Amino acid sequence: MEGIVIKSTGSWYDVLTQNKHILQCRLRGKFKIKGLKVTNPLAVGDRVTIVLEDEVENTGIITDILPRENYIIRKSTHKTQIGHIIAANIDQAMLVATLVFPRTSLGFIDRFLVSAESFRIPATIIFNKTDLLDEEQTDYLKSLMALYEQLGYTCRAISALDQHDTDKVKALIEHKTSLFSGHSGVGKSTLLNRLAPGIQQKTAEVSTFANKGVHTTTYAEMFILSNHTFVIDTPGIKELGLIDINEGELSHYFPEMRDLLGACKFHNCTHTHEPGCAIREAVEAGDIAVSRYYSYLSMLEGEDNRR
């Protein structure tokens, strides 16, 4: 049989079979993905082949992982140069971000977008908690959305407490497999509960002491909204260390830089100090946002952006 991994809790995986049954499965032996060092050989969204182990206990054994179309990966928080796959085989990546309580850094947003770009996964930024913004913050949000929309990213400003706003998000995910990600406390679980009341993800208040979210999702899980609509919820991410992207190709994943590649004086330009750099000239001219350029430099230096 074939199926899709919809939940991973460690050594056991929930697999949705082609006949819509859910089997609890374990891996047969050790799996290694060629050329990929990861903490988790299997991720939510992976398509697998399975054999029934115990019909009474409803358990199976995963015998093989079918080729992935794409995946979102981040650097493991505990092991350097080893990745952790967040999800596989997705149609789009939805980043839930907030400007207040807690604040999502632009560096984190840009890292998420670069990760999606590296696998040509369409990305959307959902700015939540608009009900908490004052007039000045609302104006800033509008300028941010204009910046990212100009680069080709879909943006939505919402309050997850407003049904009209959540309907805007629901329209974006119809007939697709969508990954939802973001820092703890940005309202991701509240939003998902609104999108599909059957999800019933735990929610928690943001700590007023540290202005940080409390982790309410402890593992990735796929939810079935309809026959063709799936959402993947992921644990709140503190940091998003890039992996498997070398410095020579990093600028390719910034759309505004990609358009200027080949215009620099030197073909191996790092866009940091070289004379005749078209990208630095574009930054100085205001054609590339300074925040985006700083994010590029941060990634080039291997820094992890948190809040």
Q: How far apart are CA 220 and CA 86, in angstroms?
A: 7
| DSSP string across 284-296 | HTTSS-HHHHHHH
pLDDT tens per residue across span 81-105: 688 888 999 999 999 999 999 999 9
Looking at every residue in the chain, the average pLDDT score rounds to: 87
Q: Among residues 248, 219, 246, 245, which one has the least CA distance to residue 234? A: 219
Q: Among residues 65, 21, 60, 75, which one has the least CA distance to residue 44? A: 65
Confidence of residue 5 (pLDDT cuts 50, 70, 90): very high
Q: How far apart are CA 118 and CA 239, in angstroms?
A: 18
Query: 195 CB contacts (<8 Å, ≥6 apart)?
Result: 166, 169, 170, 173, 225, 231
Average pLDDT over residues 135-152: 98
Q: How far apart are CA 136 and CA 154, in angstroms?
A: 22
Which pair of tokens denotes residue 285? 């001219």
pLDDT tens per residue across span 11-68: 889 999 988 889 999 987 766 666 667 878 899 999 999 999 887 778 999 999 999 9
Question: Above 70 in pLDDT, residue 209?
Answer: no
CA dihedral (219, 220, 225, 227) in degrees, to 10, reads: -130
Q: How far apart are CA 270 and CA 119, in angstroms?
A: 22
Q: How far apart are CA 113 and CA 130, in angstroms?
A: 21
Question: Above 60 in pLDDT, residue 207?
Answer: no
Confidence of residue 117 (pLDDT cuts 50, 70, 90): very high
| DSSP string across 241-284 | ---S--TTTGGGGSHHHHTTTT-SSSTT--SSS-TT-HHHHHHH
Question: Above 90 in pLDDT, residue 203?
Answer: no
Between strands 47-54 and 59-65, the pairing is antiparallel
Q: pLDDT value at position 213?
A: 42
Answer for the pair 49, 1: CB distance below 8 angstroms, yes or no: yes
3-state secondary structure of 81: coil
The reported pTM is 0.87
Q: pLDDT value at position 56?
A: 72
Q: pLDDT value at position 84?
A: 83
Answer for the pair 295, 110: CB distance below 8 angstroms, yes or no: yes
Residue whose token pair is 């993800």? 201
Q: Which residue ranges form the domains of the chain, and what is each CATH number?
A: 2-65 (2.40.50.140), 71-233 (3.40.50.300), 250-300 (1.10.40.50)
